Amino acid sequence: MSQPHATPTPPTSPLAHLVFFEPCIPGNSGAAIRLAALTGAQLHLVEPLGFDMSEAKLRRAGLDYHDLAHVAVQPDLDAALAAAGTDRVFAFTAATDVTLPEVEFAAGDVLLFGPEPTGLPQHVLDDPRITSRVRIPMRPGLRSLNLANAATVALYELWRQLDYTGGV
């Protein structure tokens, strides 16, 4: 049986910054809101959004975690990266040979993901602020993971590398 959650102590700084560039599907962003609450990450949603923040699918996917998550809607990528205040930005894409297990993450890193179904556009991937492009391994011939699932895999790998600091 599930136990009700206690209100967590807010972290002094975010575990990481999840940046969803122009997300389209409300359920994925809702799941990311829940992910941010559960891990202590900051979620940045970069406009334009393909949904309204009050949309029922977004609320339903985030369950009752909306008030426990740190979420900011940013007008553009520049604002999102400025708000993150870090120099390390990892862009997740299939267009690279660098795989997730090869990356050494640090607390506060930016994990940048593109919209469903196209992924990050070339002009974002070519941005000089990108530290590295990263690919999540999968079987050949398949396109990609669901956006919320990819963010979960990446964020939990970052947190694992930090020995799940702040987790129980």
Burial of residue 126 (number of CB atoms within 10 Å: 0-12, 13-18, 19+): exposed
- Say if residue 144 carries a ligand binding annotation: yes
115 Cβ contact partners less than 8 Å away, ≥ 6 residues apart: 20, 21, 22, 23, 24, 50, 147
The reply, when asked if residue 166 is annotated as ligand binding, is no
Residue 89 to residue 132: CA distance in whole angstroms = 7
> Does the annotation flag 25 for ligand binding?
no
Annotated binding site: 114, 136, 144
Annotated binding site for S-adenosyl-L-methionine: 114, 136, 144
